[in-house]
Amino acid sequence: MASNLHMKRLLTACVSLCMLLTAKAVEPAWVTKAYETAEAQSEMMYKRVQAEGKLPRSIQRGLQDPQDWCVGFFPGTMWLLYAHTGDSIWAARARQGCEMIAGERFNAFDHDLGFKMQCSFGTGLSLVPDKEYEEILYRSARTLASRYNPRVGLIQSWEADTARDWKFPVIIDNMMNLELLMEAYKQSGDSTLRDIALAHADKTMRCHYRPNMTCPHVVDYDPLTGEVRKFDWNNGSDDVNVSTWGRGQSWGLYGFTMMYRETGDRRYLEHAERIADYLLAHPNLPEDMVPYWDYTGSDRSTMRDAAAAAVMASALMELSTWSAKGAKYFEAGERQLKSLASDEYLAAPGTHEGFIIKHATGNYLWKSELDGALSYADYYFMEALDRYMKLINGRTLYNNSRMAHLSTGNWFIEAHDPATVVLENDGVIDITTPKGFTMWYDKPLSGNYRISYQAMLPEKGGVHDRASDLNCFWGAKDPDCPDDLYANAPWRKGIFQHYKTLKLFYVGYGGNYNTTTRFRKYFGGGPKLSDDVVRPVIAEYTDKAHLLKPDKWYKIVIEALPGKTVYKVDGKELFSTDTEPGDTDGYFGFRLLSNHCLVRDFKVEEI
């Protein structure tokens, strides 16, 4: 059972989670049915876990000891049920599941520590702050890192095998385990973990993929030279020239999407987009978008793998928040989720031995776990549902996210708190942010232009309602990454001091708890330099007439003109300054801090 200290942490977390759940979420009927089924099935499965003292893998292989690679998924599923319901019983049960596998943090036998520990302890840590969980994840990451060979530049998946002529086998599944390294790096600052993750991702991108963006399951390397020895299979088709194992393609899509989130490196985003585009256009992708066990194998078998669909749907939900093609990816992921939540794939409560998803296939050619249940199909289905619910309710998945569904165009969000909510109703953008928040208009501006919009800070008793910080940036660019403003977004993530690396103009209207209205020019240089150097104040007001009033719509106009830029409020010029050519070229962004803001009639025009 959970310790008293764990229960105290849990109650603290429950308070904050329940606050998030008080606002009525939009929940389609098919999602409600899916969650109700998942809860009933997980209740059934939990009783089996209690009785046997093991954790589920599949119907064929039953429940397994901690050494099995699948043991982290059911604790993760219970954490995701807690995230949706707010019911602390699921958190307590998830903790019990995690405690059953805590010793695996020392198991260096294979690469699967990421699946085991990140999906269990990592999912829990994302919901409930816990120092012990951080320490377990760090130890797990160090253990996984011990399988890295710097000569090869990769983490070895399995041991050498003379029967298969493998000297240094690496499987595409390993991309999923890099998230453990990146999370542990962020928690600990141990840059070795990050460097290993980057090296592995880079070489996988170069060596594991064919020109058409498909990959085999296995690539074997020479451990002395690091050169590719051969493509091979252990799952998917045994024709290694064309094999396109369904779940393997989903692992790669998920892994490279995640690596973009963690690094901001657009190579990973572009690689993920190319994988997604290939799969979504594949002639062998069935109408319901639940892949066959192998995309090339429909002539040999039309057995489906619902696990491949669940992983892919979750990856597409996240990819939709990063890519300029986000609407396409979101729609595809939604279609997959609706298929998985249909009677064809969703188990009826009380059946399927407690598993949630039907028609999941482990390994067709080895005749293992065929057309049945897999614990990871359940976990990634639940994760995809969680992501879907956040997105349709205006939540970001992580600190940064592209919001492609607003009528005013595409926007890119950098939020210090992922609990930030961005909605749109009847043309009004409704933003609630607990901490620092920037929303960039996702199109660089240049030349002479005018930005206009109306904004209001309501005070209706909401948790974050306050008349303060109706701020904005314009002409923003990153001197370190002049071609990509978002490259350092994972580092900035809405923290105000981190924007001191940028060059831009800034107005803080009603800042400092509505005591100042300031106009600054940012010269870049970073947070360690003083404000006088990096962002000197050009002009300032402190009188009441130039501060904010709650529940009042303000008409804001920003102009980039020849030789100067101007900021106006309600038709009156508040600030202006002389400019050099190119000063105002760059991005516009709303900048908020711990408040609730409504925006309407946003428009950009050339002048």
Q: What is the pLDDT of residues 192-246, one digit of tens each?
A: 999 999 999 999 999 999 999 999 999 999 999 999 999 999 999 999 999 999 9
Q: How confident is the model at residue 403 (pLDDT cuts 50, 70, 90)?
A: low
Q: What is the pLDDT of residues 407-437, one digit of tens each?
A: 777 899 999 988 899 988 889 999 999 999 9
pLDDT at residue number 2: 37
- Here the tokens at position 55 are 């954790």
Nearest to 291 by CA among 327, 259, 250, 326: 250
User: The whole model's pTM is what?
Assistant: 0.84
Closest CA to 301 of 242, 375, 246, 374: 246
| Residue 540 CB partners (closer than 8 Å, separation 6+) | 516, 517, 518, 519
112 part of the active site:
yes
598 contacts 423 by C-beta, under 8 angstroms: no
Structure-token pair, residue 186: 């962020």
CB contact burial 118-127 (16+ within 10 A = b; e otherwise): bbbbbbbbeb
- On whether the CB atoms of residues 558 and 451 are closer than 8 A, the answer is yes
- Distance, in Å, from the CA atom of 511 to the CA atom of 247, rounded to the nearest integer, reads 50
pLDDT at 351 over 60: yes
> Given pLDDT bands bounded at 50, 70 and 90, which one contains residue 496?
very high
pLDDT band at 9 (very low <50, low <70, confident <90, very high): very low
Q: What is the pLDDT of residues 281-323, one digit of tens each?
A: 999 999 999 999 999 966 677 899 999 999 999 999 999 988 8
Indicate the residue type of 497.
Answer: Q
Helices (H) and strands (E) in the chain, counts: 17, 20
In which band, very low, low, confident or very high, does the pLDDT at 520 lie, cut at 50, 70 and 90? very high
Question: Rounded to an integer, what distance in angstroms lies between the CA atom of residue 193 and that of residue 336?
Answer: 34
pLDDT bin (cut points 50, 70, 90) of residue 264 is: confident
All CATH 2.60.120.560 domain ranges in the chain, comma separated: 400-606
**Of residues 68, 110, 112, 378, which has the active-site annotation?**
112
3-class DSSP string for 338-363: HHHCCCCCECCCCCHHHCCECCECCE
Cα gap 328→46, rounded to integer Å: 37
Using the structure block, give the residue that is written with the tokens 């904004």.
455
pLDDT at 431: 95
- Buried b vs exposed e over 259-285: b needs ≥16 C-beta within 10 Å? bbbbbbbbebbebbbebbebbbebebb
Cβ–Cβ < 8 Å for 160, 167: yes
- Which residues are paired to 555 by β-bridges? 454
Contacts of 140 (CB under 8 A, 6+ apart): 104, 105, 113, 116, 117, 118, 121, 180, 184
Among the listed residues 173, 265, 478, 585, the single catalytic one is: 173
- If you average pLDDT over every residue of the chain, what do you get? 93
> Which numeric CATH code is attached to 4-392?
1.50.10.10
pLDDT band, very low/low/confident/very high, at 487 (cuts 50, 70, 90): confident
Q: What is the pLDDT of residue 17?
A: 35
Amino acid at 605: E
CATH 1.50.10.10 region(s) of the chain?
Answer: 4-392
Please state, in angstroms and rounded to a whole number, the distance separating the CA atoms of residues 407 and 427.
7
Of 312, 593, 279, the residue nearest 436 (C-alpha): 593
Residue 239 near residue 294, CB atoms below 8 Å? no
Q: Is CATH 3.30.565.10 the right assignment for the domain spanning 400-606?
A: no
Which helix (H) or strand (E) covers residue 508, if one does? Answer: strand 503-510
For the residues of 171-232, what is the DSSP string, one character each?
Answer: ETTHHHHHHHHHHHHHHH--HHHHHHHHHHHHHHHHHS--TTS---SEEEE-TTT--EEEEE
Measured in residues, the chain has a length of 607
Distance of CA 15 to the CA centre of its chain: 24
The pLDDT value recorded for residue 405 is 55
- Which of 407, 452, 473, 478 is CA-nearest to residue 559? 452
State the maximum Cα–Cα separation within the chain, in Å, rounded to a whole number.
Answer: 81
| 346: phi then psi, degrees, rounded to nearest 5 | -90, 125
Least confident of 266-280, 302-316, 389-403: 389-403
597 phi and psi angles, rounded to 5 deg: -130, 140
Q: Residue 15 — pLDDT band, cuts 50, 70, 90?
A: very low
E-state strands within 416-491 = 421-425, 428-441, 449-456, 470-477
What radius of gyration do the chain's Cα atoms show? 25
For range 78-101, the mean pLDDT: 98
Please answer whether residues 258 and 178 qualify as being in contact, where contact means their C-beta atoms are separated by less than 8 angstroms: yes
What is 407-436 written as a DSSP string? TTEEEEEEESSTT-EEEEETTEEEEEEEEE
Token pair 């390993």 in the structure block, residue: 174
pLDDT at site 59 = 97
Closest by Cα among 520, 523, 601 to 557: 601
Task: Report whether 97 contacts 78 (CB < 8 A).
Answer: yes
Question: For 33-56, what is each residue's pLDDT tens digit?
Answer: 999 999 999 999 999 999 999 999
Torsion of CA 329, 451, 593, 406, to 10 degrees: -20
Please name the helix (run of DSSP H) or strand (run of DSSP E) that holds residue 124, with its range, or none: helix 123-127
pLDDT at position 23: 44
Express each pLDDT in 538-581 by its tens digit.
999 999 999 999 999 999 999 999 999 999 999 999 999 999 99
**Strands (DSSP E) along 222-263, which ranges?**
228-232
